Structure 1
Amino acid sequence: MNSMRKRERPALPDLTSAQSPQAAAKPRKLRVLVAGEFSAGKTSLINGLLGEKVLPSHVTATALPPIWLVHGRDRGQIWIDKEEVARPLCDLAQLNLEKARYCVIAHGAPILERIDIIDTPGSSDPNMPMESWQRMLRYADLVIWCTNATQAWRQSEKAVWDAMPQALLEQPMLVVTHGDRLPDERTRARLMRRVQREAGEVFPTIRLAALTDAQDVAQIGREIERLIGQIGQPSGETNETVAKFVRERDVIAFPKPRMPVKPRRLRSARLIKAEGAELPEVTDAEPLILDSPLPDYPPAEPASMPGPARALWEELTAGHAFTDAADVLAHVEHLLDRLDARAADEPEPAYATRRSTP
């Protein structure tokens, strides 16, 4: 038995609490929580499982709360405040992080017909408190832990995993991401032997994957389905807010006007004060009450596709946190090499040739 399981664990959400008779009578979809350290490739893995880029994965997107993905039409989405009140969400980039506890987004990906996926902030992200992702553990039935191949399974990751609730330690999976950044098969084999030796007793399933390889991502998806097939009774707590969102309406994007809006001339605050009138009060959006029928919201506009150069840059920097100027320049030089190779119709150089091997 691994020594990490023997040590006393810090108090975290209790996942063994009894379910209500109503929840037990109606089985629900299992929930897979994807966790890991900052820049471990969690969001890139989830986008791969969904089949398209649904969640932002660039560096500035790390300052997001947990995102709960459910199956539904037209990408409806809401955000949940600290009082568990659901509100419409138009744009993740405009989300107030001080008020938001987590978001719920509906998407039509086939995998979401069988499971829910919860994306969490990095456990080592300096911009996000630990409790922002730890509070979501109570809702999980299975945890997928992502670790970067260039520095896989660090002591800081072991410390976090040592505090995991017991109910989530039965069938976890460790995904060693960014396998394409390793230079050759010999390095990959050496890395996997070390990870298996140090984490094999904790993780019954360990897989190395290149997140840019569709076959690798598909293999991870099959492993997830195999693991959830072995789970009998869900251990995660019920969440009525998410259940109502899925049950009552799967399209929540932004309210449409109740009546045609006539254009009006805007006046500055200085002119309003000069006329002796009071400025209009600016308040937050009214809470979205899920107990009542929801209005018919229009579907969200699909995101525009990036150009070839920008798409290549997003591929090279997916899940990567830049640490210094030299790191940025190395990526830029490799981007130029790839573009030159494409223009000359030559084989594209491997990024691993520019990095030191672990």
Structure 2
Amino acid sequence: MATFSSTSNSYLMAAIVLFVGLFMANLDITGAQSVGVCYGMLGNNLPSKPEVIALYKSHNIKRMRLYDPNPEALQALRGSNIEVMLGVPNSELQSIANPSNANEWVRRNVLSYWPSVRFRYIAVGNEVSPVSGGTASLAKFILPAITNVYNALRSARLQDQIKVSTAIDMTLIGNSYPPSKGSFRGDVKSYLNPIIGHLQYAKAPLLANIYTYFSYAGNPRDISLPYALFTSPSVVAWDGSRGYQNLFDAMLDALYAALENLGSHGAALEVVVSESGWPSAGGFGTSLDNARTYYTNIVRHVKGGTPKKPGRAIETYLFAMFDENQKQPELEKHFGVFSPNKQPKYPLNFGGERMWDVSDGYNHSVSLKSDI
């Protein structure tokens, strides 16, 4: 039997303490990095691009969604260590559906800045739907545009570092209650199936904009405000053995179920929540207090998981960095977590200590219909 001297024991204990410390530190970093913030620019009173990047850094916001390749913003991001979700705007989808145009777009907007800008995702289009009057004509360009951008990145051997996807909204879901019965609308499945197949092949997540606010505002009779704001003291809706204490989890799990219902290629996909927020003014159910409650709770909550996928951090991007006074309708002007003068609207903790969701589990249920 081997024996250890006291000195060896000391080294062993030091090594164990160091390993545990590094492991716990890594947990903190992983938790802190699960929340990013979307940087919209539709305001005539916003800080300069370098000031905005400095604001992200000073508040330890490590991820950003950028809706278009703004050269001044990309230049300011150099060396910042902020991970970026870069958008191909809907207005450019038809052009990017041409392979040579996509190659040039990637060269100009990605390769010219990589690796000093840490691109994490390319979001090809935002909330394009084949059945929405505003974007229906663009739907046919999404898959070729995604494929072309992916191929351009693969040519540069970056397909494993930068993932290419598209951001959908929840209007593509036809049935969402109970979450386990989630399914896409029948008239969008032929649009989504090849996109989901490509994402699985490329090992890329699906991006989804998930707003409990719009579900609540559209159906306040059946959806309670606490359920939408993460403040319900107990389970609101049961789905078999799974209890849902907040609407965000129910919506995300309905999306996961809808992906599974598309077949094996959908079941394997991860989902990144590419937008989520609550307006502080401009519509039903809006107030500074409600918005503060929502943002504070979602930052804490996404460190964990959902009833369907417990214990897994949900990569989430808050919408949005600033109130943007040039957006319409009025409601859209009030989603900022900062004011244009760079002052925080809410006391959010984007990093630092790991904040655990210590809700009281799923011990009690309330009889309340919770369609989403």
Settle same-fold status: TM greater than 0.5: no
| Structure with the higher helix share, 1 or 2 | 2
Higher Rg: 1
Q: Give the TM-score taking structure 2 as reference length.
A: 0.31
Q: Give the TM-score taking structure 1 as reference length.
A: 0.32
